[in-house]
Amino acid sequence: MAASDIKTIDKEEFEALNGPSPAKKQLVLEEVEFFFNNSSGDLGVLTRDRTDDDYGYAVLQKQKGQPYRAIKAEVSISSRDDARKELLKHLA
């Protein structure tokens, strides 16, 4: 799978695929970037922790007949760029 298979998507497209984010999560995490892998159908979301201003990410995979679920997640990454690089590596 090539990195060119991964594209940035907006929040509306992310929520159309995965459903809206639970309101309680928004108290701590801010979803700041969204990605979609055209080949695998996997989603990626980059987050900022509002309590200590660091970053994290999650890779979500859709199981046949099931909703998307997290298959990889990391938190406490000091920079947005580093978090994005890690996310894209695991989304590829």
For 51-84, the pLDDT digits (tens) are 999 999 999 999 888 889 999 999 999 999 999 9
Percent of the residues in the chain that have a pLDDT greater than 70, as a whole number = 91
Question: What pTM did the predictor assign?
Answer: 0.80
Domain containing 75 equals 3-91
Among 23, 3, 13, residue whose Cα is nearest residue 45: 13
Contacts of 29 (CB under 8 A, 6+ apart): 47, 48, 49, 50, 56
Length of the chain: 92
pLDDT in tens, 25-61: 567 889 999 999 999 999 999 999 999 999 999 999 9
79 vs 33: CA distance, rounded Å = 13
Into how many domains does the chain fold?
Answer: 1
Given a cut of 70, whether residue 3 has pLDDT beyond it is no
